[in-house]
Amino acid sequence: MVYQTLKPILIGIFLFSGFSICQEKPKQKMNPVIQSALIPGWGQKSLQYPKRSRLFTYVESGLLISILGTTTYSNILKKNYIAFAVEHAAVSSSGKSHKYWVDIGNFSSIEDYNDEHLRNREMDDIYEANLRWSWDWDKDSNRNSFEKKRILSDQMKQVATFGVGAIVLNHMVSAIDALYLKRIGGKQNLTVQPWIPLESGGMGYALTLHF
In a domain, 127, yes or no: no
Q: Is residue 68 part of a domain?
A: yes
pLDDT of 141-155, one tens digit each? 999 999 999 999 999
Cα-based torsion angle of the residue sequence 177, 179, 182, 185 in order, rounded to the nearest 10 degrees: -60
Asked if residue 84 is part of any domain, the answer here is yes
pLDDT digits (tens, 9 = 90+) for 169-200: 999 999 999 998 988 875 555 565 666 554 55
Classify residue 126: in a domain, yes or no: no
Q: In the predicted model, is pLDDT for residue 15 greater than 60?
A: no
Q: What range does the domain containing 179 cover?
A: 2-90+136-209
If one counts every other C-beta atom within 10 angstroms of the C-beta of residue 58, the result is 13
45 in a domain, yes or no? Answer: yes
112, part of any domain: no
pLDDT digits (tens, 9 = 90+) for 81-93: 999 999 999 999 9
Residue 131 within a domain: no
Structure confidence at residue 19 (pLDDT): 47
Give the pLDDT confidence of 107-130 residue by residue, as tens digits.
Answer: 999 999 999 999 999 999 999 999
Q: Please report the pLDDT score of residue 29 as a whole number.
A: 80
Supply the DSSP string of 69-119, one letter for each residue: HHHHHHHHHHHHHHHHHHHHH----TT--HHHHHHHHH-SBHHHHHHHHHH
Q: What percent of the chain has pLDDT over 90?
A: 70
Q: How many independent structural domains does the chain possess?
A: 1
